[in-house]
């Protein structure tokens, strides 16, 4: 069996309620109207007999007759006065003779020889004292019109009920359309939202509950889309990091093969006695140096594999300018051996970051500047407008080389064509991982007579301090 949709349900519910109300209303009219009308006539008869008694009280017989005749005609009732033992009747409707020699207490009243149902008349009696003595007063009111009205009502009820039901049918249809239209619109919009259509949006206006519901659905969908987009970006970022980690591990394994093979050959030569005794001590020293370099490389590899996860952990508010000064002081001794000078122009800057992560980034950048700068040159370190720049003088690099320095285990070649063996070759790769994980943008570009490394901290919320400090470290 097919389930009814919202419009048929609403239509059937409204037409059923209206039809029930119409039937109940017509039934109550048919049942209660005669009783209410009869009660009203009885109350009117009571008030009329009281009013007539007041007018007749203390009057003469002739005055009583005139008053009764006038009252009967004015109120369309029949009045019977018993004066000196004789009944005198004054009719307000068709002439009938009412014979009642003694008080009537039967189911029938004899009027002009006809039998009349007492339910069709109302009889009220009383006595008044006139100038000639006690006078009996009887008032008869016709209520036959009640039965006639009841019969008439019964005849017209089918027509009025049919007309009422027709109006209810039209009203229920219009009402159901009006009520269900915005709900159907919301259902259509939510179906489009279920398919994640970007333009799905409820456009209904108003201040009622349905409009509030539609606006809430819009806000919920907007939040959902933002969440999905954020998750997609995060997933893409995680996927990229995983690919980089796999590539890094492949590069690390490849990088370890050559020194391990060299170490094995030297040790085998010593074991087999191929190496002269005079050279064994030197080869053992070279082997130990190779082992130390491999240990450092493995340690750097392990640390780098955890870099992305630790980059956003345990964040604190840090002063970048103070950390830069601290790192510069660490490299002063190494710089002095190469006659290098630091020119620091630092605007105080606060950021939220992991202290170890930020110090590691700054240490790698500044250490590279110290190692690869021309002897006796100046290293410029500046912080302005939330941007840190480190510029050092060296042999100019190509744009391709500036891009490749972020690859794991990539080493610059010296002027004689030999690969520089200083360091493990993953320093700037670690910097790249840390900055990417933190969301800060960076650049490594060639400039006149050197290169420049730039980190833009404005991509994350930070606070700048109004003070400004410029320092120059003289040549030792």
Banded pLDDT at 304 (limits 50, 70, 90) = low
> In the structure encoding, which two tokens stand for residue 34, read together?
């005669």
Cβ distance 76 to 92 under 8 Å?
yes
pLDDT tens-digit map of 359-388: 888 988 999 899 889 999 999 999 998 999
Q: What is the mean pLDDT of residues 244-259?
A: 67
pTM: 0.47
Q: Please give the share of the chain, as a percent, with pLDDT higher than 70.
A: 79
Per-residue model confidence (pLDDT) at position 279: 74
Q: What is the mean pLDDT of the chain?
A: 79
Cβ neighbours for 206, distance < 8 A, ≥ 6 positions apart: none
pLDDT tens-digit map of 73-86: 988 888 998 888 88
Banded pLDDT at 302 (limits 50, 70, 90) = low
Q: Where are the domains of the chain?
A: 6-149, 309-472
Banded pLDDT at 326 (limits 50, 70, 90) = very high
Q: Which residues pair with 464 in a beta bridge?
A: 349
The answer, yes or no, to whether residue 445 has pLDDT greater than 50, is: yes
The closest alpha carbon to 61, from 89, 91, 82, 90, belongs to 82
Per-residue model confidence (pLDDT) at position 96: 46
Banded pLDDT at 103 (limits 50, 70, 90) = low
Q: Which residues pair with 470 in a beta bridge?
A: 345
Per-residue model confidence (pLDDT) at position 423: 46
CATH number of 309-472: 3.30.565.10
Per-residue model confidence (pLDDT) at position 100: 53
Per-residue model confidence (pLDDT) at position 240: 75
Q: Which residues of 390-413 are buried (b: 16+ CB within 10 A; e: fewer)?
A: bbbbbeebeeeebeebbebbbebe
pLDDT tens-digit map of 116-131: 555 668 888 998 888 8
Q: What is the mean pLDDT of residues 46-57?
A: 90
Residues 181, 176: Cα–Cα separation, whole Å: 8
Per-residue model confidence (pLDDT) at position 175: 87
Per-residue model confidence (pLDDT) at position 452: 92
More confident residue, 69 or 398: 69
The answer, yes or no, to whether residue 107 has pLDDT greater than 50, is: no
Q: What is the mean pLDDT of residues 16-36?
A: 87
Per-residue model confidence (pLDDT) at position 402: 82
Block residue for tokens 């004789």: 86
Cβ distance 82 to 56 under 8 Å?
no
SS (H, E, C) the chain: CCCCCHHHHHHHHHHHHHHHHHHHHHHHHHHHHHHHHHHHHHHHHHHHHHHHHHHHCCCCHHHHHHHHHHHHHHHCCEEEEEECCEEEEECCCCCCCECCCCCCCCCCEEECCEEECHHHEEEEEEEEEECCEEEEEEEEEECHHHHHHHHHHHHHHHHHHHHHHHHHHHHHHHHHHHHHHHHHHHHHHHHHHHCCCCCCCCCCCCCCHHHHHHHHHHHHHHHHHHHHHHHHHHHHHHHHHHHHHHHHHHHHHHHHHHHHHHHHHHHHHHHHCCCCHHHHHHHHHHHHHHHHHHHHHHHHHHHHHCHHHHCCCCCEEEEHHHHHHHHHHHCHHHHHHCCCEEEEEECCEEEEECHHHHHHHHHHHHHHHHHHCCCCCEEEEEEECCEEEEEEECCCCCHHHHHHCCCCCCCCECCCCCECCCCCCCHHHHHHHHHHHHCCEEEEEEECCEEEEEEEHHHCCEEECCCCEEEECCCC
The closest alpha carbon to 452, from 404, 410, 394, belongs to 394
**Torsions phi, psi for 413 (to 5 deg):** -95, 140
| Strand arrangement of the beta sheet that strand 121-130 belongs to | 86-90, 78-83, 133-142, 121-130
Per-residue model confidence (pLDDT) at position 466: 34
Q: Please give the share of the chain, as a percent, with pLDDT higher than 90.
A: 15
Block residue for tokens 């030297």: 266
The answer, yes or no, to whether residue 245 has pLDDT greater than 80, is: no
Per-residue model confidence (pLDDT) at position 262: 75
Per-residue model confidence (pLDDT) at position 293: 73
Per-residue model confidence (pLDDT) at position 186: 86
Range from 65-74, 228-237, 241-250, 267-276 carrying the lowest mean pLDDT: 241-250
Per-residue model confidence (pLDDT) at position 205: 77
Per-residue model confidence (pLDDT) at position 33: 81
The closest alpha carbon to 325, from 369, 250, 368, 382, belongs to 382
The answer, yes or no, to whether residue 98 has pLDDT greater than 60, is: no
Per-residue model confidence (pLDDT) at position 94: 47
Per-residue model confidence (pLDDT) at position 255: 61
Banded pLDDT at 300 (limits 50, 70, 90) = low
The closest alpha carbon to 253, from 200, 301, 193, belongs to 301
Per-residue model confidence (pLDDT) at position 303: 65
Cβ neighbours for 301, distance < 8 A, ≥ 6 positions apart: 248, 249, 252, 426
Cβ neighbours for 195, distance < 8 A, ≥ 6 positions apart: none
């Amino acid at each position: 069996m097919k389930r009814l949709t919202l419009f048929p349900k609403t239509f059937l519910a409204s037409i059923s309620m209206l039809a029930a109300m119409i039937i109940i209303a017509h039934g109550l009219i048919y049942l209660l109207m005669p009783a209410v009308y009869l009660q009203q006539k009885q109350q009117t008869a009571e008030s009329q007999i009281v009013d007539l008694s007041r007018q007749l009280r203390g009057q003469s017989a002739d005055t009583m007759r005139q008053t009764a005749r006038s009252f009967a005609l004015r109120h369309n009732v029949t009045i019977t006065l018993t004066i000196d033992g004789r009944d005198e009747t004054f009719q307000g409707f068709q002439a009938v003779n009412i014979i009642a020699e003694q008080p009537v207490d039967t189911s029938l009243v004899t009027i002009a020889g006809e039998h009349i149902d007492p339910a069709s008349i109302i009889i009220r009696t009383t006595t008044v004292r006139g100038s000639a003595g006690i006078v009996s007063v009887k008032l008869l009111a016709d209520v036959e019109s009640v039965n006639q009205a009841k019969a008439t009502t019964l005849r017209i009820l089918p027509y009025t009920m049919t007309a009422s039901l027709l109006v209810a049918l039209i009203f229920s249809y219009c009402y159901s359309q009006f009520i269900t239209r915005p709900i159907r619109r919301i259902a259509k919009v939510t179906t489009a939202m279920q398919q994640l259509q970007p333009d799905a949006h409820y456009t209904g206006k108003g201040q009622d509950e349905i409009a509030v519901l539609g606006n809430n659905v819009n806000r919920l969908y907007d939040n959902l889309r933002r969440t999905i987009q954020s998750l997609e970006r995060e997933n893409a970022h995680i996927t990229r990091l995983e690919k980089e980690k796999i590539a890094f591990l492949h590069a690390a394994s490849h990088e370890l093969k050559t020194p391990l093979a060299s170490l094995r050959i030297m040790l085998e030569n010593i074991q087999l006695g191929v190496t002269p005794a005079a050279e064994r001590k030197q080869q053992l020293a070279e082997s130990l140096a190779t082992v130390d370099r491999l240990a450092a490389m493995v340690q750097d590899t392990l640390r780098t594999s955890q870099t992305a996860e630790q980059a956003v952990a345990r964040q604190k508010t840090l002063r970048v300018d103070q950390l830069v000064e601290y790192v510069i002081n660490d490299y002063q001794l190494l710089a002095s051996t190469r006659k290098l000078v630091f020119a620091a122009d630092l605007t105080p800057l606060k950021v939220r970051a992991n202290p170890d992560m930020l110090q590691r980034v700054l240490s790698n950048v500044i250490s590279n500047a110290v190692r690869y700068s021309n002897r006796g040159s100046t290293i410029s370190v500046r912080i302005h407008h939330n941007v840190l720049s480190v510029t050092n003088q060296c042999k100019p690099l190509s744009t391709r080389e500036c891009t490749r320095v972020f690859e794991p285990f990539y080493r610059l070649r010296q002027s004689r064509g030999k690969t520089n063996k200083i360091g493990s070759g993953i320093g700037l790769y670690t910097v790249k991982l840390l900055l990417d994980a933190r969301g800060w943008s960076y650049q490594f570009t060639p400039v006149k007579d050197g290169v420049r490394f730039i980190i833009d901290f404005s991509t994350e919320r930070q606070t700048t301090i109004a003070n400004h400090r410029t320092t120059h470290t003289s040549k030792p």
